[in-house]
Amino acid sequence: MKAGNSIQFGKAIRERRKELGYTQQDLATFTGLSISFISDLERGKKTAELEKSLFIAGMLGLDVVIGPRGTDK
Protein backbone atom coordinates (compact mmCIF):
# COMPACT_ATOMS: atom_id res chain seq x y z
CA MET A 1 0.00 0.00 0.00
CA LYS A 2 1.28 3.44 -0.86
CA ALA A 3 0.58 6.11 1.72
CA GLY A 4 0.47 9.57 0.21
CA ASN A 5 -0.84 11.31 3.30
CA SER A 6 -1.22 10.92 7.06
CA ILE A 7 -4.71 9.37 6.76
CA GLN A 8 -3.44 6.59 4.49
CA PHE A 9 -0.36 6.03 6.69
CA GLY A 10 -2.57 5.75 9.77
CA LYS A 11 -4.92 3.36 7.99
CA ALA A 12 -1.98 1.11 7.06
CA ILE A 13 -0.80 1.09 10.68
CA ARG A 14 -4.30 0.26 11.97
CA GLU A 15 -4.84 -2.51 9.40
CA ARG A 16 -1.49 -4.12 10.16
CA ARG A 17 -2.06 -3.93 13.93
CA LYS A 18 -5.43 -5.63 13.53
CA GLU A 19 -3.95 -8.19 11.11
CA LEU A 20 -1.52 -9.18 13.85
CA GLY A 21 -4.33 -9.37 16.40
CA TYR A 22 -3.02 -6.56 18.61
CA THR A 23 -5.08 -3.99 20.45
CA GLN A 24 -3.94 -0.40 20.81
CA GLN A 25 -3.19 -1.27 24.45
CA ASP A 26 -0.95 -4.16 23.33
CA LEU A 27 0.94 -1.86 20.98
CA ALA A 28 1.29 0.77 23.71
CA THR A 29 2.72 -1.85 26.05
CA PHE A 30 5.16 -3.19 23.42
CA THR A 31 6.41 0.23 22.36
CA GLY A 32 6.18 2.25 25.56
CA LEU A 33 4.13 4.87 23.71
CA SER A 34 0.74 6.12 24.84
CA ILE A 35 -2.56 4.78 23.58
CA SER A 36 -3.53 8.35 22.72
CA PHE A 37 -0.49 8.68 20.42
CA ILE A 38 -1.32 5.38 18.71
CA SER A 39 -4.95 6.42 18.32
CA ASP A 40 -3.95 9.80 16.88
CA LEU A 41 -1.53 8.13 14.47
CA GLU A 42 -4.14 5.64 13.27
CA ARG A 43 -6.63 8.46 12.71
CA GLY A 44 -4.07 10.27 10.56
CA LYS A 45 -3.14 13.15 12.85
CA LYS A 46 -0.91 15.35 10.70
CA THR A 47 1.36 16.37 13.57
CA ALA A 48 2.23 12.84 14.76
CA GLU A 49 5.95 12.64 15.46
CA LEU A 50 7.83 11.05 12.58
CA GLU A 51 10.34 9.11 14.68
CA LYS A 52 7.60 7.52 16.79
CA SER A 53 5.50 6.80 13.70
CA LEU A 54 8.39 5.04 11.98
CA PHE A 55 9.14 3.12 15.18
CA ILE A 56 5.58 1.81 15.35
CA ALA A 57 5.64 0.85 11.67
CA GLY A 58 8.84 -1.09 12.28
CA MET A 59 7.43 -2.80 15.37
CA LEU A 60 4.51 -3.98 13.23
CA GLY A 61 6.88 -5.37 10.60
CA LEU A 62 6.20 -2.65 8.04
CA ASP A 63 8.88 -1.10 5.86
CA VAL A 64 8.64 2.58 5.01
CA VAL A 65 10.31 3.11 1.64
CA ILE A 66 11.12 6.45 0.06
CA GLY A 67 12.09 6.73 -3.58
CA PRO A 68 11.37 8.64 -6.75
CA ARG A 69 7.69 8.90 -7.55
CA GLY A 70 6.42 6.30 -10.00
CA THR A 71 8.97 3.66 -9.05
CA ASP A 72 8.95 0.79 -6.60
CA LYS A 73 12.46 1.61 -5.33
Read off the pLDDT of residues 6-33 as tens digits, 9 standing for 90 and up.
Answer: 999 999 999 999 999 999 999 999 999 9
33-39 long-range CB contacts below 8 Å, 24 or more apart?
none
With a pLDDT cut of 90, the percent of the chain lying above it is: 82
**What residue spans define the domains of the chain?**
6-59
CATH code of domain 6-59: 1.10.260.40
Give the pTM: 0.89
Residues 37, 50: contact at Cβ < 8 Å? no
